[in-house]
Amino acid sequence: LPAIAKAQADETSRAWNRPVEPFRIIGNIYYVGATEVSSFLITTPKGHILLDSGLAETVPLIQANLKKLGFKIEDVKILINSHAHYDHAGGLADLKELTGAKLMASEADAALLANGGKGDFRWGDDLSYKPVKVDRVLRDNDEVELGGVTMTARLTPGHTKGSTTWMMKVNEAGKQFDVIFAGSTSAPGYKLVDNPKYPGIIKDYAHTFQLLKSLPCDVFLAPHGSIFSMLEKA
């Protein structure tokens, strides 16, 4: 079964990691990821914030996309994450080494990142990646600030125990907009009832959906491009 999971993941990864031209979404937010695995660059005068690394194989693509937009990977000062699965955190170790940026993540996902994805309640050790140490552990409503930009972490557990939704405000054409980078909320093959590895999963998902419903949102973004019809908007 682990071999089958790995083979399926490899095939999926190749499809998800197809290149796409980078583009500005709104304000100081840019899409710099692949076709299906998202990566967002939030620019500031004091350096940049990068949300999600995609796969390990996505890192060279992110580098190239930043260059196309006129930015330097070395100017990334902070790395943040939606959740600690291989397709969104697989390249964080390489990016941290490449940039010297500080990595910030929720407590539950910090442990998963440090283990390289091993010990995940759903995937076990099957979908592992290079381990990476978190520099700052985030709790619900904690703020990440850089160069006058503030991003707020909202814990939205379920998909992982530390899945995180990010919020920020941007200015565009003289107006202010609320932007949401949603954490994943899918449950692919998850055991939701009487799950010994995650007894509180139903309660956490219920909390997450209620919280997401309550957040102000003008622009909705997500860890997978298909969730917000990225290709149609690129």
What amino acid positions are annotated as catalytic residues? 83, 85, 87-88, 159, 190, 224
Nearest Cα residue to 42 out of 225, 183, 167, 226: 167
The sign of the CA dihedral 125, 130, 134, 140 is negative
DSSP state of 188: T
Q: What gap in Å lies between CA 98 and CA 106, rounded to an integer?
A: 22
- Copy the structure tokens of residue 10: 């490899």
Asked if residue 43 lies in contact with residue 28, where contact means CB atoms within 8 angstroms, the answer is yes
CA atoms within 13 A on the CB side of 224: 12
Q: What is the DSSP string of 159-187?
A: SSTT-EEEEEEEEETTEEEEEEEPPP---
